[in-house]
Amino acid sequence: MSTETETRAMHDTLLLFGATGDLAQRYLFPSLLRLLADGLLPDDFRVRALALSPHDTAAFHDVLRPRLQQSWPHGRQDDINALLARIDYRSVDLRDADSVAAAVSDLVDRQCVSYLAIPPGLYISTCQGLAKGGALAAPHRLMLEKPIGSDSHSADEILNAIGALIDEDRVFRLDHYLGKAAVQNLLALRFGNTLLEAVWNRNYIESVHILVAESEGVDGRDAYYSRSGALRDMVQSHILQLLCLVAMEPPASLEADRIRDEKVKVLRSLRPLDARNAAQHSIRGRYTAGQIDGQPAQAYQPPEGSEAETFVGVTAHIDNWRWSGVPFHLVTGKRLPERTTKVVVTLKPVTHWLFERPTRQQAAPNRLTFQLQPQENIELGLMSSLAGPEWGALELQPLELELSVPTGLHRRIAYERLFLDAFNGNSALFVRHDEVRAAWAWIDSVCHAWKEAGMTMAPYPAGSWGPREARDFLPDDIHPIHHAGDQA
Ligand code: BG6
């Protein structure tokens, strides 16, 4: 996915808005540090850090230095100093276009990439300032964090306003899941193997589960989260992107727009959720106090009036030839027992059953599990007679084939890959405007259905696998004793 533009010179100047925020300090600067240490950034690379705080450059370095050290305990001090030497800081008021323009205009004779790690409510005014300062004209580029808006209407407003200021091919909308090697591997596995493609359709696949479980809570992001909730925060972006990679048709090539053309078709084929069966096809929950790994965990208590859920399960249907009738169970939650991201593909039973034991009904279906986080591996569940009596091939037992990726491999932070691709101008791992619109259109249908159906919020104790009804949405291997209300 990275050959398209590798011959072009890399952009060499990053204008990083939201430089004092958690995302920048925890992931963006540490990613730049690793890229610099590995010699992957241009020789004259520099960063302008921008935020509201009235720091000067030296004070900003004092804030950033310990965060960099913490992010890479075995990193070399020289590398940290080398990165800091390339960073200067400007205080800026993002609501004021003149302030933004003044903070960047001295750099526009370089090749700039502006990165907005700020709330989407500030995107338009910041971009107006960038345009005024000359930082959105060609060849400059723009990187935008998710979420783009909070529904179709606000997303349209942002996309249209920014679309009037910069060409689409210079806008790089991030979904950091696309920067993860294990997520990219879904495409490699699907389109690099005859075995998978041969069964990848409604004739052989019974159901698909996509699970993104987190043990972390909302912790410290209350202001954003109380207006967002799991559906908008996780399903609209990461989970729908995973769904696209699992369900898309083979692209004609790995060129960015050929991949994105196929993804957008999947999103447009999603059947809107209907209020009449919202309660059967979805569930929303919020964690109460509980325990994770033996440690007490507090309840999530958003401000009065907040509708934010911390758990969502929703069954999606893709109305097209390949997937007609195949349910895609999408589940995500915070404060679940463990951090795990996986895609589980369950195949249909064989057409005629020959064996004595187990019975046809009791036979485990063939199941392909792509574990994406925290480890990366692939499991294939088959039925075999190897564990049965010596002379009888009539008794089958489940056999798990596990293909583990060799450990010890240095995995890059997702943002490292995404920075390099944006500096090189390769859009394949970024989200196109029509994908954003199509994803929001489906999320809007879920929100409307919930509202119309008066869907209640089901509580679940922190450390459980969500509300009891969540069982219907979770893959079978999630052990039910962890469910709220179950006896241990
Ligand atoms: C972010 C969400 O986009 O992804 C967070 O806003 C979530 O709520 C995070 O915790 C999960 O990312 P990862 O890479 O830790 O799975």
Q: Which pLDDT score, from 0 to 100, does residue 6 have?
A: 44
| Cβ atoms of 158 and 152 closer than 8 Å | no
**What is the model's pLDDT at position 144?**
98
Pairwise CA distance, residues 238 & 154, whole Å: 19
pLDDT at 391: 66
pLDDT in tens, 133-182: 999 999 999 999 999 999 999 999 999 999 999 999 999 999 999 999 99
- pLDDT tens, residue by residue, 74-95: 889 999 999 999 999 999 999 9
Mean pLDDT of the chain: 93
Structure tokens that stand for 276 in this block: 């009449």
475: closest CA among 209, 212, 213? 209
- Cα–ligand 1 centroid distance for 485 (angstroms): 27
- Write out the two tokens for 88: 């200067």
What does pTM read for this prediction? Answer: 0.95
Integer Rg of the chain from CA: 24
Choosing from 238, 242, 339, 376 the residue with most ligand 1 atoms within 8 A of its CB, the one to mutate for a pocket test is 238
Going by C-beta distance under 8 Å and a sequence separation of 6 or more, which residues neighbour residue 301?
none
List the end-to-end C-alpha distance of the chain, in Å, as a whole number.
Answer: 47
What ligand 1 atom has the least distance to the C-alpha of 334?
10
Per-residue pLDDT, 1: 44
Q: Domain segments of the chain: what residues?
A: 4-174, 178-486
Residue type at 306 in one-letter notation: S
Residue 394 pLDDT > 50: yes
Ligand 1 atom nearest to CA at 234:
2
- Give the pLDDT confidence score for residue 404 in this predicted structure: 80
Atom 9 (ligand 1) nearest CA: 234
- Tokens encoding 349: 């039973």
Given a cut of 70, whether residue 393 has pLDDT beyond it is: no
CA 419 to ligand 1 centroid distance, Å: 18
Cα of 388 from ligand 1 centre, angstroms: 44
Atom of ligand 1 nearest to the CA of 218: 8
pLDDT at residue 447 tops 70: yes
Best residue among 211, 234, 240 to mutate for probing ligand 1's pocket (most ligand atoms within 8 Å of CB) is 234
Strands 311-317 and 282-288: antiparallel
Q: What is the pLDDT of residue 235?
A: 98
Pocket of ligand 1 (CB under 6 A): 214, 233
What is the predicted pLDDT for the residue at 392? Answer: 63
Whether 12 shows a pLDDT value over 90: the answer reads yes
**List of E strands, 145-192:** 171-173
Instruction: Note the pLDDT of residue 411.
Output: 76
As annotated, the active-site residues are 238
> Given this chain, do its domains 4-174 and 178-486 carry the same CATH topology?
no
Separation between Cα atoms, residue 33 and residue 47, nearest integer Å: 12
Going by pLDDT thresholds of 50, 70 and 90, the confidence category of residue 356 is confident
Annotation: CATH topology of 178-486: Dihydrodipicolinate Reductase; domain 2 (3.30.360)
- Amino acid code (one letter) for 11: H
pLDDT at 484 over 90: no
> Residue 190's CB: how many other CB atoms inside 10 A?
17
Residue 3 confidence (pLDDT): 40
Average pLDDT over residues 299-311: 95
Q: Does residue 66 surpass a pLDDT of 50?
A: yes
Average pLDDT over residues 35-60: 97
What's the pLDDT score for residue 407?
Answer: 58
Main-chain dihedrals φ then ψ at residue 302, nearest 5 degrees: -70, 165
pLDDT at position 479 is 65
DSSP strands (E only) in 38-139? 46-51, 87-91, 112-116
Query: How many residues are given for the chain?
Result: 488
Domain 4-174 in CATH 3.40.30.10: no
Please calculate the CA angle 464-244-427 and round it to the nearest 5 degrees.
115
Band of pLDDT at residue 5, cut at 50, 70 and 90: very low
Q: Mean pLDDT across the stretch 306-321?
A: 97
Closest ligand 1 atom to the C-alpha of 414? 14
